[in-house]
Amino acid sequence: MISLFVKGGVVMIPIVLGSFFGLMIVLERLMVFKSLKSIDNHQFTQKIFRSIKNSKFSEALDACETKLFSPLAAILKIGIERRSLPPERLEKVLEQVGNNQILKLEKHLGFLATIIAIEPLLGFLGTITGLIRAFMSWEHAGANITVNSLAGGIYEAMITTAAGLIVAIPLYLFYNYFISQIKYIANELNNYSIQLIEILSEEKENKFK
């Protein structure tokens, strides 16, 4: 590996750095999404909704407090705390909270997307610089050119191209996985927010009967 790195030339430095930062982002995001999957959202929300229907708002808030790392718990907590707002106003508040939670889930993904885009370009740059080296060696050697004279530049061209793609492809797969998970969570937040507003409205109506 060290030999390949050396033969890849100076362009290998940013390629390897990009792979390191990309890997750190992937591992950090995987830990975040793994923690979210530790919660059964359906079971959790049903527990919260039962407490609301029984007017046990403190109990519902306490349950949310224990799961505040979850976007769903954060939204439910704000919804319960601001239950006195008109439904239309509460819907806008929950929408804003939901957007903020989604932004947290997207943390570092912009940087990851940049790494994915740049890695193949760095590989292509290495291809160009490697070919330039090869042609300069050819020009310098003239009629006495040998395969060994060209090998350094060709190695650089091929290794950097391969390295850029090897880094970008798996990172791209993880990026798509994270985006799909975020879309699913966003849909869940929207659905449960609507249910929360309906239940709070019903509870408010029952209170004044």
Tell whether 54 is covered by a domain. yes
Q: Shortest CA distance to 137 belongs to which of 146, 128, 125? A: 146
Residue 208: inside a domain, yes or no?
Answer: no
75-127 pLDDT, tens digit each: 999 999 998 899 899 999 999 999 999 999 999 999 999 999 999 999 888 88
Condensed to tens digits (0 to 9), the pLDDT of residues 51-76 reads 998 889 999 999 999 888 899 999 99
Locus of tokens 């040998």? 146
Residue 180: inside a domain: yes
Locate all alpha helices (DSSP H) within 66-146, ordered by sequence: 71-81, 87-105, 109-141
**Is residue 113 domain-resident?**
yes
- Which residue segment(s) compose the domain that 41 sits in? 2-203
Average pLDDT estimate for 164-185:
95
Decide if 158 is inside a domain: yes
Report d(CA 177, CA 102) in Å as an integer. 15
| Mean pLDDT calculated for residue range 4-13 | 72
How many domains is the chain built from? 1
CB neighbours of residue 129 within 10 Å = 17
User: What pLDDT is attached to residue 125?
Assistant: 85
Q: Is 209 inside a domain boundary?
A: no
Decide if 49 is inside a domain: yes
Confidence of residue 25 (pLDDT cuts 50, 70, 90): very high
Tell me if 87 is assigned to some domain: yes
Q: Which residues contact 199 (CB under 8 A, 6 or more apart)?
A: 49, 52, 53
- The distance from CA 14 to its chain's CA centroid, rounded to whole angstroms, is 22
The pLDDT confidence band at residue 206, using thresholds 50, 70 and 90, is: low
Task: Tell me which amino acid residue 207 is.
Answer: K
What's the pLDDT at 149? Answer: 54
